[in-house]
Amino acid sequence: MCGIAGYISFNQQEYMEPLQRAVSKLNQRGPDNQTALRLSNSVGFAHARLSIIDTSTTANQPMTHEGGRYTIVFNGEIFNYRELQQQFLQGVTLHTTSDTEVLLNLYIRLGKDCLQHLNGFFAFAVYDAHTGTTFFARDRYGIKPLHIYRDSEKLFFASELKALLQFPIKKEIDFNVLPIFLQLNYVPQTLSMLRGIKKLPIGSYAVCNEKGNFTEGVYYQIPYTPGSHPDAEGLSFDEAKTKLHTLVDEAVQRRLVSDVPLGSFLSGGFDSSIVSTCASRHTKHLNTFSIGFKDEPYFDETQYANLVAKKIGSNHTVFSIANDEIFASIDDILNYMDEPFSDPSSIAVYVLSHQTRKKVTVALSGDGGDELFAGYNKHEAEMRAREHSLLNILIKAGYPVLEMLPGSRHSKLGNKLRQLLRYSEGLHMTAQDRYWRWCSFQSKAQVMQLLSERVVCNESAMQSAINELTVGITENGSINDVLYSDMRLVLPGDMLTKVDLMSMANSLEVRVPLLDFTVVNFAFSLPVHYKRDDLGGKRLLKEAFRNDLPTELFTRPKMGFEVPMLKWFRKELLPLLDNEVFNEACVREQGIFSPIQMKKLREQLFSPQPGEAQWILLSLLSFQRWYKNYYC
């Protein structure tokens, strides 16, 4: 696990000084070594290393092949590198035991076709000194990031935006992206908050030469056609259950390769419990880690984690955190976000990563289970919305009444009313619009009200971007269409970005076995009823591991990795909002948001019906801190 950066100059201008600054900004990703290297008159690569496999200095990067022609910088891990070495590199002399050297030689041998054989997560660049070309690639699902800036004179790339901004880049906010961020609370792939910057698409590669010719290609797509109805390749439910158990177990086992201490996150939810259970079969004295909230017992799930840890016999550590400790981390979290991002669970992931890093350097995580096996409430809502039922007709007709009822997340009845209103709203929409709305915290109309009249957005460009992000949703398809879109929108834009940023802020590598491509490909061969039925989501996943897990997990309520933001914003974190979001003088000087709407939001925060105020305010706080740190 590392950070990478580099430049390609189309007019032979050198950018070594900004490259040195860029790699220094990646020191938390790679605290063990930082090196910047000029490869030609036009190309420079840099690498910040977190040593995981072959911790010797000979495995440092940039790594140049002994012939001098090829140089690689690589962020990630290739879990099947030993098998690939045996299969393709017999007779090749290697000078390290690292996956980096295997990847470099595999690229030399197979070119872009090497990507088909890689099992892992990665973003890497290889420079060919003979042809003057640089090859870029990113993993199948976007576990590792790669930001690229390109104009007529140069190309810059980096693992994080904060590193990319060390190069001479004109910083302009893309006001067609800002409303999308304010809806989703994250910037989706491949967009960026700054014009001219993009993220290399997931499952893609690119080639750039020193004349500026740039081409992209796709090497992987999820094997699913939107609108289709897969049949599990003829497997019965019980046969599919057995196969899934084997695939997940093998995926976890692959991810245990490490030359440094390794453990597993264990929240007490199904996904992390399954991953930890599998890991315990292949690791003696597995270390597992949970976070508990001393002052917020409602959000504390450690009782379930303790049950799993006891059953699998892991060496379990519970980090019981007081609110004051969390508040002390808020500034560090906001300052590390080099693009606006406001998933509230990032706070818990940061604190867990910070504590876990004191014990191990690598942790396994259960991310991906909900997206693959229909574990979210919106998946149930979408299944019901596609039914032609009398109940749907009545709920749809009742929208004007539901609008007047006091919906809220902060009571059981209020939350039901809130969900019912969103459901009724969705019934009036096309499947594509409904999916986007249910992925959002705010509608487009609500977002546009927040913006100053000085902000000009191209609604056509915005809608084109949204259409591209929701292209997998079809009217006559199934919930598999939604899962397919989640894998392209929610997973890389939100979930994986959150884990990558918060773990890397603490120099911790996190591995996600459920996103092994063998598991993903199999999941998308399954019919909907294997994944979700009237009893809930993740049906096949739960049944595959029913005998491995404590029975209490099957009766517990589903909880997200949440924190009580409304309570904190009303009290302890209110001075932060008053200073950075509600400050009228600053809002007027900045000219992006409406001072009147900011005042209304503060009133809404303290009203009996705050609605989604806390999530809207978190997105505004994230934007304003980013604006101050990285844009001004």
* Range name among 176-185, 312-321, 555-564 with the lowest pLDDT average: 555-564
For domain 232-372+482-553, the CATH superfamily is HUPs (3.40.50.620)
Are residues 443 and 437 in contact, defined by beta-carbon separation less than 8 angstroms?
yes
pLDDT of residue 476: 87
**Mean pLDDT confidence for 467-481:** 92
3-state class (DSSP) for residue 475: coil
For residue 501 the two structure tokens come to: 């940023």
> Which amino acid type is present at position 379?
H
Average per-residue pLDDT for the chain: 94
- Integer Cα distance of 353 and 343 in angstroms: 16
In the chain, where does the domain assigned CATH 3.60.20.10 lie?
2-218
Q: Write out the residue limits of the CATH 3.40.50.620 domain(s) in the chain.
A: 232-372+482-553
At 448, which helix (H) or strand (E)? helix 444-450
Confidence band, pLDDT 50/70/90 cuts, at residue 542: very high
pLDDT at 561 over 70: no
**pLDDT score of 560:** 56
Structure confidence at residue 185 (pLDDT)? 97
Q: Which CATH architecture has domain 2-218?
A: 4-Layer Sandwich (3.60)
Phi, psi dihedral angles at 52 (to 5 degrees): -125, -55
- Res 1 pLDDT > 70: no
Q: If you average pLDDT over residues 450-477, what whole number do you get? A: 93
Catalytic residues: 2
pLDDT of residue 534: 85
- What is the percent of the chain where pLDDT is above 70? 98
- How confident is the model over 94-117, as a mean pLDDT? 98
Average pLDDT of 323-333?
Answer: 94
Burial 329-348 (b: 16+ CB within 10 A, else e): ebeebbebbbbbbbbbbbbb
Residue 38 in this model has a pLDDT that exceeds 80 = yes
Other Cβ atoms less than 10 A from the Cβ of 409: the count is: 16
Distance CA 65, CA 108 (A): 9
The answer to whether the beta carbons of residues 591 and 456 sit under 8 Å apart is no
Beta-strand pair 204-209/214-218 = antiparallel
* Of the candidate ranges 155-169, 389-403, 445-459, 618-632, the one whose mean pLDDT is the lowest: 389-403
- Given a cut of 90, whether residue 414 has pLDDT beyond it is no
pLDDT class of 609 with cuts at 50, 70, 90: confident
Average pLDDT over residues 586-612: 95
Q: What pLDDT was estimated at residue 297? A: 79
Given pLDDT bands bounded at 50, 70 and 90, which one contains residue 437? very high
Give per-residue pLDDT as tens, 182-209. 999 999 999 999 999 999 999 999 999 9
Contact (CB, 8 A) for 123 and 144: yes
